[in-house]
Amino acid sequence: MAPGTVQTSWLGNTFRGGDKWVQNFFQGVEVQPDGTIWTTSDWDEGGRKFQEYKDGDVIGNVDHGIAHGPDQVVSVGGANYTIFGTTIRKNGATYITDCVKPTSMGKAANGQLMVTDDGVGRHVVRYYNVSGAKPVFDHNFGDLGGIGSGTPGLVTPTKFMGLTGCGEDRLGNIYITSGQEPGGYIRSLAMDRTALFELDTCLLAASFASTDF
């Protein structure tokens, strides 16, 4: 660059702002069958608390009234599921009790219930067959221990942290949101764990002083 000139750039967001911006601090997500995702945030530098995304791009900024956390209700097979403390309730009665810190739920393409467990040693999406009187745990998606697993701090598409939302489209592609300080991300992965896209709201920098993940 020539002396006396100024070059500007940006850091920490997939897009540079203006018409496109990835929100801060994702609180929840709803995934539509075609892969469109609706998100909500409690704070965003650009004032965009509600957004629509598809195929790794921002397509809108519309409030769809997404509930999250203990206010979220997911309907699967005619039953309603809610988070209550460390348990999942089915139609008001305690149903799933083996989560450490459930933070959100979603519906898988095959009709299973998805639960993000952001507890210590977890940081995964748990899948349950809820077609019977008792839930049957099927599998985890993601590396147990999240960002602290394997080489702690080494980022890979299947090492999660700060999970706030999950869901699948009709093809079984998985969408995950993180609201981890100081920002968050949306990740989409295929069923075979192949990364499809990631949208970042802030570059995360952290020093790991312990292994309490």
For the chain, the distance separating the N- and C-terminal CA atoms, rounded to the nearest angstrom, is: 44
| Exposure string over 110-127, b if 16+ CB within 10 A, otherwise e | eebbbbbbbbeebbbbbb
Those residues whose C-beta lies under 8 Å from the C-beta of residue 39, and which sit 6 or more positions away, are 23, 26, 28, 29, 50, 51, 52, 53, 66, 165, 177, 186
Dig out the tokens for 198 from the structure. 């990631």
pLDDT at residue 11, rounded to an integer: 59
Q: What is the pLDDT of residues 13-58, one digit of tens each?
A: 777 666 777 777 788 889 999 999 998 887 766 677 788 899 998 8
Just give the CATH number of 26-200. Answer: 2.110.10
Is the pLDDT assigned to residue 208 strictly greater than 60?
Answer: no
Please state, in angstroms and rounded to a whole number, the distance separating the CA atoms of residues 159 and 204.
Answer: 14
Please state, in angstroms and rounded to a whole number, the distance separating the CA atoms of residues 32 and 94.
Answer: 28
Q: What is the pLDDT of residues 147-184, one digit of tens each?
A: 899 999 888 999 999 999 999 999 999 999 998 766 68
The domain limits of the chain are: 26-200
Q: What is the pLDDT of residues 55-114, one digit of tens each?
A: 998 887 776 767 777 678 999 999 999 999 999 999 999 999 999 999 999 999 999 999
pLDDT at residue 200, rounded to an integer: 83
The model carries a pTM of 0.86
Question: 186 - beta bridge partners?
Answer: 177, 199
pLDDT at residue 7, rounded to an integer: 61
Burial class (CB in 10 A: 0-12, 13-18, 19+), 79: middle
Dig out the tokens for 187 from the structure. 């990740």
Question: Which has more confidence, 153 or 6?
Answer: 153
Please state, in angstroms and rounded to a whole number, the distance separating the CA atoms of residues 25 and 178.
Answer: 7
Dig out the tokens for 90 from the structure. 């089915």
